[in-house]
Amino acid sequence: MDFRTVIEPFRIRSVESVKFTTREDRVAALRAAGFNVFRLHAEDVLIDLLTDSGTGAMSAQQWAAMMQSDESYAGSRSFYRFERVVRDLTGFTHVIPTHQGRAAERILFHTTLHPGQIVPNNNHFDTTRANIEVEEAEALDLVIPEGRVPRALHPFKGNIDLERLDHLLSDHGDRVPLVMVTVTNNSGGGQPVSLENLHGVRDLCDKYEKPFFLDACRFAENAWFIKVREDGQGGRTPKEIAQEMFSLADGCTMSAKKDGLANIGGFLALNDNAWAESARNLLILTEGFPTYGGLAGYDLEAIAQGLEEVVEEPYLRYRIRSTEYLGEKLTAAGVPIIQPPGGHAIYLDARELLPQVPPTQYPGIALANELYLEKGIRGVEIGTVMFGMRPDGREQPGPMDLVRLAIPRRVYAQSHIDYVAEAVIQVAGGRDRLRGYRITSAPRVLRHFTAMFEAL
Ligand SMILES: Cc1ncc(COP(=O)(O)O)c(C=O)c1O
């Protein structure tokens, strides 16, 4: 009989205590935070699933590499190691380190975009969208129709709609400076993109002579899904699959805080010499010299080592299985989630769970806040607060109202996940009591980070 238990592929020799609080403590903390979990003190959170970005545990090998870093301002050995690892993985000519993913986005878009242009993607993440809109260009989401329906089952729900992309490029190609695909599709539920789809994008980009960029934050998780779900890919290593994914593109933006297994960092990598030169000029202005780009030498070491560890099969098997495990428990209890479970997170469908709370009263905020108040778990709204504000200042319902429970890499054990499942199921059981919120103050851009709310 097959042995079914998938264990954490590591043992732990350094631990961090978590703080237990009472419900009264949490009510006070959330009130002080303006009912926005982003504003909580992290130590008031028991299990923190706000993000998988920069929250992972590093390996002994990463810490060892950091101790041996070269902190030279220019030409540091750590940069060359980082560059070698990124080139080996991606094949791109120019490797430009940045302090995190959005810095790579800002540099790419400030270098390449003009007002009125359009950048298609399966789904733009919030920082990607904001960095496009700040250039007065349009961020267009073209995920396949299944990718917009939480319960629809599809092995590659992150795929971009090739037909719509073809129409866009044929009708408005002159306004499209580049095509982007996000792997995995974070805003669409951490869903993967197939190799077949990436080949399709490459073909269209060749047809219309457009550069193709990956938002590669979770490239390794995407490669694992390709390995286990796509015909003919089972015998390949995740690294080989990732290399093929990158080989189809002309460049990528990367947040190393995800599949770089590092706590900070990112990069822009690309083949175009002229774009790379402009990008480096801007980098020097805002991030730093091109061999450190806003990072310490030890960060570059951590990322280089992380990029090698993240494609290891035992790690990816455990990683994807832990997320799926949480998804299975919630599904068995009838909690609506985006199906199938994504790579790095489970997305609770707050709009379906709380039909009494209309999107403009933020069901995602209501659910996220209740999870914190009841059991000390912090998730994040991905819905009308995050995506409902148009550039012209009007608000409309976001495409979905979700609460994302993102699982930090190599941090929580199975009992933590069991606790989360029990908590979500309990909160879902009391759903009828939950009411919406209204915003009392918010900035114009990326309002979800700092907005303040009041319960209705
Ligand atoms: C798909 C995607 N793109 C870009 C980013 C931005 O990366 P960073 O947070 O490092 O700026 C994120 C971060 O969450 C992301 O998930």
Element (H, E) at 316: helix 313-332
Average pLDDT over residues 317-341: 96
What's the pLDDT band for 143 if we cut at 50, 70, 90? very high
Per-residue confidence (pLDDT) for residue 1, from 0 to 100: 66
Residue with CA nearest ligand 1 atom 15: 125
Minimal-distance CA residue to ligand 1 atom 3: 125
For residue range 154-186, what is the model confidence (pLDDT) as tens digits?
999 999 999 999 999 999 999 999 999 999 998
Residue type, 319: R
Residues of the chain with pLDDT > 90, as a percent, come to 93
Closest CA to ligand 1's atom 14:
53
Q: What is the mean pLDDT of residues 407-416?
A: 96
Q: Single out the residue of 391, 92, 51, 365 nearest to residue 253, CA to CA.
A: 92
Q: What percent of the chain has pLDDT over 70?
A: 100
CA of 217 to the centre of ligand 1 (A): 7
What is the band of 3 on the pLDDT scale with cuts at 50, 70, 90?
confident
Q: Ligand 1 mean position to 175 CA, how many Å?
A: 25
Q: Which atom from ligand 1 is nearest to the alpha carbon of 218?
A: 1
Pocket perturbation via mutation, ligand 1, pick of 50, 51, 52, 102 by most ligand atoms within 8 A of CB: 102
The pLDDT of residue 144 is above 70: yes
Q: Provide the pLDDT for residue 188.
A: 80
SS3 content of the chain, % helix, strand, coil (to 5): 45, 15, 40
Interval 19-52: pLDDT, tens? 999 999 999 999 999 999 999 999 999 999 999 9
Taking only the tens place, the pLDDT of each residue in 375-395 is 999 999 999 999 898 878 889
Q: What is the CA(332)–ligand 1 centre distance, in A?
A: 31
When pLDDT is cut at 50, 70 and 90, the band that residue 233 belongs to is: very high
Residues with CB under 6 A from ligand 1: 53, 100-102, 125, 127-128, 182, 186, 215, 217, 255, 257, 266
Q: Of all atoms in ligand 1, which is nearest to the CA of residue 265? A: 10
* Distances 265 to 213, 257, 300, 307, 360 between C-alpha atoms, Å: 19, 6, 8, 12, 35
| Distance of alpha carbon 340 from alpha carbon 324, whole angstroms | 8
Pocket probe for ligand 1: among 51, 122, 217, 347, the residue whose CB has the most ligand atoms within 8 Å is 217
pLDDT in tens, 264-288: 999 999 999 999 999 999 999 999 9
Ligand 1 center–CA 203 separation, angstroms: 26
Cα(125) to ligand 1 centroid in Å equals 7
Q: Is 42 helix (H, G, I), strand (E, B) or coil?
A: helix
pLDDT band at 151 (very low <50, low <70, confident <90, very high): confident
Other CB atoms closer than 10 Å to residue 72's CB: what's the count? 14
| pLDDT (average), residues 233-242 | 98
How far, in Å, is the centroid of ligand 1 from the Cα of 121?
14
* Choice from 98, 186, 253 to test ligand 1 binding pocket (greatest atom count within 8 A of CB): 186
Please tell me the pTM assigned to this model.
0.94
CA gyration radius, the chain: 21
Q: Which of 447, 441, 435 is nearest to 383 (CA)?
A: 447
Asked if residue 420 lies in contact with residue 405, where contact means CB atoms within 8 angstroms, the answer is yes
Q: Supply the mean pLDDT for the chain.
A: 96
Ligand 1 atom closest to the Cα of residue 51 is: 14
Query: Considering only CA atoms, which residue is closest to atom 7 of ligand 1?
Result: 101
Instruction: Identify the residue whose C-alpha is closest to ligand 1 atom 5.
Output: 101
